[in-house]
Amino acid sequence: MLESERYGEAMETLEFLMGCEGQDEQRLQEWSTLLEWLRVAFPGGAQDAYGNEAALAGEEPESEAQALRRRTLEKQRENAGYAFELVRRVKEEPLTERGQIALEQLAYLEGAESDRLLIEWLEAGELHPLLQFRGLQTLKRRGASGPVRLPREGISLELEIERTPLSPGDFPSAVDEVLERVSDQTDNESPSMFYFARELWMQFMMATYGTNDYVVLIRGEEGELDAWAAALHAQASEALGGDGNAEQIRDAYGITGELRFRCERAERTLRAFTQGSLIR
């Protein structure tokens, strides 16, 4: 590999071999020395090395996604059961980095078998809401379409794969309108407050996608958007250690009368989500 200047592949291979047990001590030392030299030459790791190879060949450097796709397809060609292996990894390590990378890799595999395996996994039993959403995104990236029935708190959410948002900008406008309201109120208070609120909100939108809360929200009724914006502001303030003065925040968003009930319910829902027990 080094003779042919395939430095990226060499780094990945050495890192894999270094993690294998039962290797000869002298060989391990040789591998370690070589890997250290490559890391000095390419501080950005294997991705940096792949970019260097592309530059030498007069090609555009690979992006991280392109590199992952290439490696995934190479492994699929070498191993006919690679799709089963990735799905097993996602099932056994769903919320780990390793499991998330496997889910991303499934988007690149060729053949309809991966679609079937993913749908069976999503429909077989209740999963964390964020994991369900990531699974839908993977299916959409694969070009799949049609309904998927997700078990959720004793009911079944029937969602169309092709309608799944792949980025924040793909969500209905009402989702962003809530953030605009929060931005207007937090600009002078604390810039970090809005950044945290935005991240919390998008995570919540992914987790609540397709539920009754989501369906009601995206209708875009002004009072509903005000209630959710006030609740999001209050939860972000509380999470960041602020005073989280709910009454003061509600006043800023014009929450009175019947809207107060909606806002309090939204606050409970968001608080439960941040504590890991989403109310659906």
CATH number of the domain that residue 242 is part of: 1.10.472
Residue in 157, 277, 264, 160 with CA at minimum distance from that of residue 211: 157
What are 3's strand-pairing partners? none
* Same domain assignment for residues 44 and 111: no
| Residue 163 belongs to a domain | no
Among 1-15, 133-147, 244-258, the minimum mean pLDDT is found in 1-15
Dump the DSSP string for 169-235: GGS-HHHHHHHHHHHHHHTTT-HHHHHHHHHHHHHHHHHHTTSHHHHHHTT--HHHHHHHHHHHHHH
212-234 tens-digit pLDDT: 999 999 999 999 999 999 999 99
pLDDT at 11: 60
| Residue 164 belongs to a domain | no
| Residue 148 belongs to a domain | no
Retrieve residue 54's tokens: 């592309």
pLDDT at 224: 95
| Residue 223 belongs to a domain | yes
d(CA 252, CA 272): 23
Q: Tokens 């000869």 belong to which residue? A: 24
Last residue of a domain, one of 46, 62, 78: 62
Q: Identify the band that residue 43 occupies on the pLDDT scale cut at 50, 70 and 90.
A: low
* Same domain assignment for residues 93 and 33: no
Asked whether residue 121 carries a pLDDT value surpassing 80, the answer given is yes
Task: Write out the residue range of the structural domain in which residue 31 sits.
Answer: 7-62
d(CA 170, CA 191): 24
CB-CB contact of 226 with 259 (8 Å): yes
* Same domain assignment for residues 34 and 92: no
CB-CB contact of 205 with 241 (8 Å): no
| Residue 155 belongs to a domain | no
* Same domain assignment for residues 121 and 49: no
Average pLDDT over residues 82-92: 90
Q: Tokens 């919320």 belong to which residue? A: 95
Last residue of a domain, one of 103, 125, 143: 143
Total of domains in the chain = 3
Q: Tokens 């539920």 belong to which residue? A: 211
* Same domain assignment for residues 51 and 75: no
Residue in 143, 147, 129 with CA at minimum distance from that of residue 213: 129
